[in-house]
Structure 1
Amino acid sequence: MSSILPFQPDHDMIATGSYDYSHRLAERIGQFIIDADTNSPRSQQRAIGPSEVGEPCERQLSYKILDWPETNTNRDPIAAIIGTGFHLWIGEKFEERNTALGGTRYKIEDRVTVRDSPIETARLSGSADLFDRLLAANLDWKLVGQSSLDKYRRQGPGEKYRIQAHLYGLGQENAGESVTRVVIVFIARYHELRVHVWSEPYDRTIALDALARLDRIRQQVLDLDPESHPERWHQIPTPEKPTCRFCPWLKPGSTDLSAGCPGAQNTNAGASLEALIA
């Protein structure tokens, strides 16, 4: 989140007590939103999901594999909440479309198994946003900021989103569907409707390679055992250009990786409640 100047009340508001009332109410509403998001099933998910497998930072994935205590707990939840609301809304609209068509052309928010395994930590499943049987394509909705949409339009979705798309393609294939394409639909959180679609042919090997990488990282964590040897956290690599801002284990200035990762320099941590209600 960018820096936001604190709210500056005028003298009349202070004199009448309106500011005190409004500010306290804003604090309570802000805290309610944060608490509700923290206790949501999405926020409490402990197992790695398809959206995380392609994370380029091996250290972040290692923290996740070990279910390490999070340090960057003041992350602003509003973008994810808006995204959840949109997913619910568009899911209802495609359900209505199915009813109008008198069939099940669209599979909506369907739980798919990307990989099953007798080893619990090796299993991978997730909820696929939309599968269009007529197009034989899996669609994933992404609500993003306007600048991010422009970036994805110019540069493509990046490997993390691309891998997620093919993992869901594999999940649909495992469910018995014929999959020919994977699609990511970027929709800007903006006062004008702006949509960008990225798509490519489904490739099972992209998904399998990503799973093999995840298995390698998991084995690396077991071999290094940073729980017993915290100094070995330094042996788990980070990418050349990490994106640390929203990492749950970001702790700027940290010199002890078992207590949190300092991340890249000049990285802004999550917003505090004071910023959220400013």
Structure 2
Amino acid sequence: MTFTQPAGTITEHETGAGAAIAQMIRQLVIDTANNAPRSRQRRIGPSEVGNPCSRALAYKASDWPEVPGADRDPWASIQGTAVHAWMAELFEKRDPKGERYLVEKRVTVRQGYTYDSTIAGSADLYDRATGTVYDWKITGVTSLRKYRSQGPGDQYRIQANLYGLGMENAGEKPERVAIVFLPRHHVLEPYVWVDDYRRDVAEQAIARLDAIRELVLKLDPEKNPERWAMFPTDPKARCVFCPWHKPGSTDLSQGCPGITKTS
């Protein structure tokens, strides 16, 4: 028997009951993801400290309202959460007593004087036998090629070393950090970037964040909205994922238009 594709175009298949169900599922996923604990976190975490965009960090440090109505697709993040959970289960089964592997270990990178100034998070994996801090990253084909040829950017490197500092604060002896890039496509060919644990990288990133916090207090952009412009954006920033990104915005108190073009 020969299979024959049913008549009709893709557009026709995306109408009617099927399209309504697809939209319902999509909206349910988005609503659930947007109300997940990580999405509602107001304190700056290790993954954000190294954000190259000072303006985004200033918005977050100020607990500034995000751009309303932005329909950001959370699917990549959901996949990442699922893979993290699977990897956690894998290592927990290999070491049920937690003698060698610390899985999703909650660490304090810096204990601040206030809740907002404290930096804490969960390290994906720590191997006591080798003193290695692991961080899982789920990535697409294009990004994976870039990481293979250029290595990870500063934000990922900073995050790895911040978790290293957190492990050190917890009484462990980290020696290396490893970022494991797992491909989002169907072929399992990961790339692993490894470096010595560098406490100075973590401390410099924390000092930068503190400087941004101090500048927010000094400039008080809440009362002086024009002063948001004094917090620079950065060409390396991924504006499309920023919750304060508002293309075309001329009022930075309402949202940021994105990377500032320089001549």
Q: TM-score, normalised by structure 1?
A: 0.87
Counterpart CA distance in 2 for 1:103 and 1:30 is 38
Look up the match of 1:217.
Answer: 212
Tell me which of 18, 38, 42 is aligned to 2:38: 42
| Distance apart, 1:103 and its partner CA | 5.4
Look up the match of 1:275.
Answer: none
Give the partner amino acid of 1:115. R
Tell me which of 54, 58, 62 is aligned to 1:58: 54
Point out where structure 1 has 5 or more consecutive residues left out of the alignment: 1-5, 14-18, 267-278
Look up the match of 2:25.
Answer: 29
Tell me which of 88, 91, 94 is aligned to 1:94: 91
Q: Deviations over 1:147-199 (max 9, x none)?
A: 10111111111000000000000000000001100110001100111200001
Counterpart CA distance in 1 for 2:25 and 2:188 is 28
Look up the match of 2:255.
Answer: 260
Q: Which SS does the other structure have where 1:125 is aligned?
A: strand
> Are the structure 2 counterparts of residues 241 and 208 from structure 1 closer, same or farther at C-alpha, using a change threshold of 3 Å?
closer
> Are the structure 2 counterparts of residues 203 and 44 from structure 1 closer, same or farther at C-alpha, using a change threshold of 3 Å?
same
Give the partner amino acid of 1:211. I
Structure 1 vs Structure 2 CA RMSD: 1.7
Counterpart CA distance in 2 for 1:212 and 1:187 is 31
Counterpart CA distance in 2 for 1:22 and 1:201 is 52
Give the partner amino acid of 1:183. A
Give the partner amino acid of 2:181. F
Whether the 8 Å contact between 2:126 and 2:133 is mirrored in structure 1 is yes
Q: Which SS does the other structure have where 1:130 is aligned?
A: strand
Question: Does residue 127 of structure 1 match 2:122?
Answer: yes
Q: Which SS does the other structure have where 2:116 is aligned?
A: helix
Tell me which of 73, 76, 100 is aligned to 2:73: 76
> Are the structure 2 counterparts of residues 200 and 43 from structure 1 closer, same or farther at C-alpha, using a change threshold of 3 Å?
same
Give the partner amino acid of 2:75. I
Point out where structure 2 has 5 or more consecutive residues left out of the alignment: 1-8
Q: Which SS does the other structure have where 1:186 is aligned?
A: strand
| Distance apart, 1:122 and its partner CA | 1.6
Q: Which SS does the other structure have where 2:239 is aligned?
A: coil
Question: Does residue 116 of structure 1 match 2:111?
Answer: yes
Give the partner amino acid of 1:87. H
Q: Which SS does the other structure have where 2:228 is aligned?
A: helix
Q: Percent identity?
A: 54
Larger relative contact order (CA 8 Å, sep ≥ 6) = 1
> Are the structure 2 counterparts of residues 203 and 40 from structure 1 closer, same or farther at C-alpha, using a change threshold of 3 Å?
same
Give the partner amino acid of 1:108. V
Counterpart CA distance in 2 for 1:117 and 1:229 is 27
Which 4+ stretches in 1 moved above 4 angstroms? none
How many residues align? The count is 252
